[in-house]
Amino acid sequence: MKINNYQDICSTYFMFTALIFYFEILFLSLCSLGDVLKRL
């Protein structure tokens, strides 16, 4: 399989990285929310 479209690879990689970043932020906010609820 030969890939000629370099921009397509970049956009796919960027989308994948953004997805991982989004889930990481979501996970961290859930953890901090749990800590706040435990302190109440």
Is the confidence at residue 1, as pLDDT, over 70? no
Give pLDDT tens digits for 5-28: 888 889 999 999 999 999 999 999
User: Are 24 and 30 within 8 A, CB to CB?
Assistant: no
Q: What is the pTM of this model?
A: 0.57
Of 20 and 1, more confident:
20
Is the confidence at residue 39, as pLDDT, over 70? yes
Q: What is the spatial distance between Cα 39 and Cα 9, in angstroms, rounded to a whole number? A: 45
What's the pLDDT at 24? 96
Residue in the block written with tokens 């906010």 = 29
Of 22 and 3, more confident:
22
Q: What is the spatial distance between Cα 11 and Cα 27, in angstroms, rounded to a whole number? A: 24
**Residues counted in the chain:** 40
